[in-house]
Structures are given as structure tokens and as C-alpha cells.
């Protein structure tokens, strides 16, 4: 934001700079409020009330955006967290569980972040409705996991989906299929915020509608919006009234994010005065995770540091696996009562993420977002738990999808676990090329998913197809040159092989 004012304030004497910038801020804020009121005037009925609440949140975010004067962190003030603020999972798991876990489970709500579309994998509609294993979608697996808990322990753990305006309608249609499952399912919507013209810093939208020329002028403002939208929906108060105390929040595409009874027991068994209000699951960083947010100690508080907040001179240091050894999985356990208190006190402090976009017509816009984990510093007695890597199994690409569909994992009651037949617990590195980007293309290239139990590394590039019952072991690199095609016949075993050129492999 400071750069914007610098461009406008050339020629202003230094003494008047601060005053000039303050006047500019006030003018921008007044103009924004005027435009938002015009947009509200185009809304009717219930839409108007919902939009009014959304815009109140947006105004607060925009106000804070205008106040930002530089980097949100002062690098010399960053310290490693004290040892007791990030507990090893083994220490948490070593405590014996009580005979009855029902009391603890009945205080829990599972919340899945369900605002994303499947466009990055070439799919239309909500990402949660993509089939990932045995025709089961992300949502199917989530429902199966919670239903299994409720049946096994005779409990009532509900599922809450935080939808966005992009996913709400399609998700609600599909929820009818779970009517007879032993899981209560609730939904609420993320806020809908207006994208901002990068030059004028005013909304691009001309009315409150979402069709025609207004189709791409709105956005869901990141998962940090969960606190306000959950509170505004009335569902937070309803769940507290039902005796619920904690939510377990995770991305719906993280197949490792299942309810962990050891972490839950640790939460609910703390003495009242020292109740932990926020737990962030972190795991050891590998070279594939160097951009992931990490926990630091800053101003005597545990805080999430994201790469976007790091000054350019320190980005390599941030990516270092030796200095910053862990990263945030976005599996979070949060006190419902604390969310209510902080929301009502307007005391939740999350750094603003400024996300630049270019609309289809070429217009440059920005959208202001926040991340759910960034609020950790606002909660009392916050804690990190260093969990096994198995609790972080996100499916962001078709390469990830190949892994979770393979025999590397076994599926039971909606949960994926690494096969006991694999001799070492690390996940293979899989990199499928641009011919595999979309799920439909990927499905046509594999007659069946290869045996990957002994695979370390797979790279596939170009026009490549796989027959049935192919087995991949060690390091396998398959590269079809431009205009060439490689067919891997059924039953082929590839072990530590490089295959390239225009070639049909005939030897098994």
C-alpha cells in the first residue's frame, strides 16, 4: 500500500507527507464506502442483508489494507519458538486415552474448507466432488470417516462445510445422498467480497449480481474468513448451545486430515486455567515444502510466517530446511468459545494477503485475503504439534491423485493409510507432465493404476500411455519427445529405467 501512496505523493514536502497520505487514505475509504452502498442498492430481500454483513467485513479489511506501511514482519525480531510451544506428536500420543472417548468426541465438530473448485485439475464444480479412490469423492471419504467414529463410539460428531458462492449450490444438491448416514451435516458460506481495480482501488462490480459482466468480479476472501462467516451464520452459537467446544478444521482435499483421538484428548484434558485454545499441526519440511508457512516466536507470541510476508533479502533463508524445519499443514484445532469471544471483541489479528489477478478482459485487479492459521497469535495458550507426515496428504494435482489411487495406500472407513507392504514409509516423488494435467486426460492414459509399492521417483513427460498391471520400481523416467508417443504394454515391469524417444516397450 505504501507504494501506491509514494506514486501519488511525488513533489509533496516531507513534512506534509504523513498528512497527505492520511488525507488520501480517508478519501479512498470514503469512495469505497460510497461504491459499496451503490452496490447494496442493487440488492433485494435476503441477499441485501447477507451482502451488508459481507461488506462490513470487507470494509474492515480494506481499512487495514490502507494502513499497511511496509513489511508485516521485522526480520531481526523473528525467533525460533520455545521448545515447549511445539510438542512432538509422540509425546502427545504417549498419554493413555480414557476408557470412554465418547465425552471428548461429543465436544468436537469437524469443519472442512470446501470453497475451492476443481479447475486446476480440469474439473467443473466443487473440488470435493472429484472421485479420488474407488469412485469415492473427497466428500464421500469425509462422511465415511465421521460416520465410522459416530458408530464406533456412539457419538454425535457433526460435519460442517464452509462453502463459497462457487461451491454452495452444487454441494447442497449432493448432500441429499447422505440423508441416511449417521452424520449431521451443516453448511455455511464464506463471505463474498468485491475484487478491486488495481489503479482506482474501487470495486470492479457494477451491481450485486454474479452473472454476465459481473461473473468474475467477486471472490471468496481466503479461509481466514472462517471466523467471521461462521459467527455471522449463527451456526457457531448453535453448536456452542449443543455443548460443542472445539472444531477440527482442515482442507477437504487433505486426505491425511482425520480426527486424531490423541490430539483431541490432549485438548479436552487441559486444566481450565491453561486451556489450549488453538493447536496447529505442523510437520517436518522437505525440499518440496520450502514455500509452506512456518511457526515462529514474534513479540512473545507464537505466530505463523508465510513466504509472502518475508522480505526479499531473506526468502532463501526462509526456504532453508535447516533454519525453518517445520511447516503448517492447515490442520487446526480451535476453541469455539474463543472464536466467539475474539469475534465479538473484534480482536482477531490476521495479516492481509494481497493477491493480484488479471480478469479475462485484461483488467488488473487485487483481492484482499486472510489465512485461517494466521490468527494463532490471537488465541491463548496456542500450541504447535509436530505430527507424522501421514497427516498431510493433499491432492492438489493429478500427480497427487495417482499416488492416492495406487496400491501405496489402503482404504478403510474413509481413511487412507500407507500400505504395510511398502518397506519404507516415505511417499514417492511423482511428476506427471502437461499431458496429464486434467483428470479426464489422465484417466485415458492409464488402463489401470500401476503397482507403485517399490517406487521412489516417477517422471513422465509427453504422449505416454500405460496398459494394465504395469509395475514401477525404483526411479523411472519416461519422456516422449515432441510428436512421438510411448505405449507401456500391459504387464510391463520398469525398474530403474529411463525410456525416451518414439518407442514401444516390448520386453517385460
Q: Rounded to 5 degrees, what angle do the CA atoms 63, 65, 69 make?
A: 115
The count of other CB atoms within 10 Å of the CB of residue 41 is: 11
Enumerate the β-bridge partners of residue 479.
Answer: 461, 500
Please choose, from the candidates 192, 250, 254, the residue with its C-alpha nearest in 3D space to the C-alpha of residue 61. 192
Do the Cβ atoms of 302 and 362 come closer than 8 Å? no
Q: How far apart are CA 421 and CA 149, in angstroms?
A: 26
CA dihedral over 63, 369, 278, 235, signed as positive or negative: positive
Residue 190 labelled as part of a binding site? yes
Residue 340 labelled as part of a binding site? no
Q: Give the helix/strand (H/E) hosting 162.
A: strand 159-163
Cα of first residue to Cα of last residue in the chain, in angstroms, is 61
Q: How far apart are CA 425 and CA 73, in angstroms?
A: 37
Q: Give the helix/strand (H/E) hosting 102.
A: helix 102-105
Residue 253 labelled as part of a binding site? yes
Q: How far apart are CA 255 and CA 104, in angstroms?
A: 23
Active site residues: 396
Q: Give the helix/strand (H/E) hosting 294.
A: strand 294-298
Helices (H), 220-298: 226-233, 235-241, 261-268
Phi, psi of 229, deg, nearest 5: -70, -35
DSSP per residue, 318-369 = HH-TTTS-EEEEEEEEEEHHHHHHHHHTT----PPEEEEEE-TTS-EEEEEE
Residue 396 labelled as part of a binding site? yes
Residue 140 labelled as part of a binding site? no
Residue 170 labelled as part of a binding site? no
3-state DSSP percent of the chain in helix, strand and coil, to 5: 35, 25, 35
Do the Cβ atoms of 134 and 179 come closer than 8 Å? no
Which residues define the annotated binding site for substrate? 223
Annotated binding-site positions for UTP: 127, 190, 222, 253, 396
Amino acid at each position: 500500500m505504501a507504494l501506491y501512496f509514494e506514486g501519488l505523493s511525488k513533489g509533496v514536502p516531507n513534512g506534509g507527507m504523513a498528512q497527505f497520505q492520511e488525507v488520501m487514505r480517508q478519501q479512498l475509504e470514503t469512495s469505497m464506502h460510497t461504491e459499496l452502498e451503490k452496490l447494496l442498492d442493487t440488492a433485494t430481500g435476503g441477499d441485501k442483508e447477507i451482502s451488508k454483513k459481507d461488506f462490513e467485513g470487507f470494509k474492515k479489511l480494506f481499512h487495514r489494507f490502507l494502513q499497511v506501511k511496509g513489511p508485516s514482519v521485522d526480520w531481526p525480531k523473528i525467533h525460533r519458538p520455545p521448545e515447549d510451544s511445539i510438542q512432538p506428536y509422540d509425546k502427545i500420543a504417549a498419554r493413555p486415552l480414557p476408557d470412554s472417548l465418547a465425552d471428548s468426541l461429543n465436544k468436537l465438530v469437524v469443519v472442512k474448507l470446501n470453497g475451492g473448485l476443481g479447475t486446476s485439475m480440469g474439473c467443473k464444480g466443487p473440488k470435493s466432488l472429484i472421485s479420488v479412490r474407488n469412485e469415492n469423492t473427497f466428500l464421500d471419504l469425509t462422511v465415511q470417516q465421521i460416520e465410522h467414529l459416530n458408530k464406533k463410539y456412539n457419538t454425535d460428531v457433526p460435519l460442517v462445510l464452509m462453502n463459497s458462492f462457487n461451491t454452495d449450490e452444487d454441494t447442497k444438491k449432493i448432500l441429499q445422498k447422505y440423508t441416511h448416514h449417521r452424520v449431521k451435516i451443516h453448511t455455511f458460506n464464506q463471505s463474498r467480497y468485491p475484487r478491486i481495480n488495481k489503479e482506482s482501488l474501487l470495486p470492479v462490480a457494477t451491481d450485486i449480481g454474479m452473472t454476465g459482466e459481473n461473473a468474475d468480479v467477486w471472490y471468496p476472501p481466503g479461509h481466514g474468513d472462517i471466523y467471521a462467516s461462521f459467527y455471522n451464520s449463527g451456526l457457531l452459537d448453535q453448536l456452542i448451545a449443543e455443548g460443542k467446544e472445539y472444531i477440527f478444521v482442515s482442507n477437504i482435499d487433505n486426505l491425511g486430515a482425520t480426527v486424531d483421538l490423541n490430539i483431541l484428548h490432549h485438548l479436552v484434558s487441559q486444566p481450565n486455567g491453561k486451556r489450549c485454545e488453538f493447536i496447529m499441526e505442523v510437520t517436518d519440511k522437505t525440499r518440496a515444502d520450502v514455500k509452506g508457512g512456518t511457526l515462529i516466536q514474534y513479540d512473545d507470541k507464537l505466530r505463523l510466517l508465510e513466504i509472502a510476508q518475508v522480505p526479499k533479502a531473506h526468502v532463501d533463508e526462509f526456504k532453508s530446511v535447516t533454519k525453518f524445519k517445520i511447516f503448517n499443514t492447515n490442520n487446526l484445532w480451535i476453541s469455539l468459545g474463543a472464536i466467539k469471544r475474539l469475534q465479538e471483541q473484534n480482536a482477531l489479528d490476521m495479516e492481509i494477503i494481497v493477491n493480484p489477478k488479471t480478469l479475462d478482459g485484461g483488467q488488473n485487479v487485487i483481492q484482499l485475503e486472510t489465512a485461517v492459521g494466521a490468527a494463532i497469535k490471537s488465541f491463548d495458550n496456542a500450541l504447535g504439534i509436530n505430527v507424522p507426515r501421514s497427516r498431510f496428504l493433499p491432492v492438489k494435482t493429478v500427480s497427487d491423485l495417482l499416488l492416492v489411487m495406487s496400491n501405496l495406500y489402503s482404504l478403510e472407513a474413509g481413511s487412507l493409510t500407507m500400505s504395510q507392504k511398502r518397506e519404507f514409509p516415505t511417499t514417492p516423488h511423482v511428476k506427471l507432465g502437461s499431458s496429464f494435467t486434467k483428470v479426464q486426460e489422465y484417466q485415458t492414459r492409464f488402463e489401470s493404476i500401476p503397482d507403485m509399492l517399490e517406487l521412489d521417483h516417477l517422471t513422465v513427460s509427453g504422449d505416454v500411455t500405460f496398459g494394465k498391471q504395469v509395475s514401477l520400481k525404483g526411479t523411472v523416467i519416461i519422456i516422449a519427445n515432441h510428436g512421438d508417443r510411448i505405449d507401456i504394454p500391459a504387464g510391463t515391469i520398469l525398474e530403474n529405467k529411463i525410456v525416451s524417444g518414439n518407442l514401444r516397450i516390448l520386453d517385460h
